[in-house]
Amino acid sequence: PFSPRDIRRAAAAGENDMLRDYLEQRPNWVDRKDKNDWAALHLAVRAGHVGAVQILVEHNAGKFAELGL
């Protein structure tokens, strides 16, 4: 078993195969945030993992995120 935290960790570490596997099993967890209000997409971008960002976007990450405008 895994949790939304594992998805964020995989994104932050650029572990693309693991990230893809997690998202295929639990696509509805793509935008789950941590206690600091960071989602996997934020963490992948901050770490510069372009492949992870692409995987997250392919799984609709951020599609319904609040823009804070």
Residue 8 to residue 33: CA distance in whole angstroms: 8
pTM for the full predicted model: 0.90
Residue 63: per-residue pLDDT: 84
In tens digits, the chain (69 residues) has pLDDT values of 999 999 999 999 999 999 999 999 999 999 999 999 999 999 999 999 999 999 999 999 988 666 554
Residue 22 to residue 35: CA distance in whole angstroms: 20
Beta carbons of 46 and 24 less than 8 angstroms apart: no
Amino acid 6 reads D
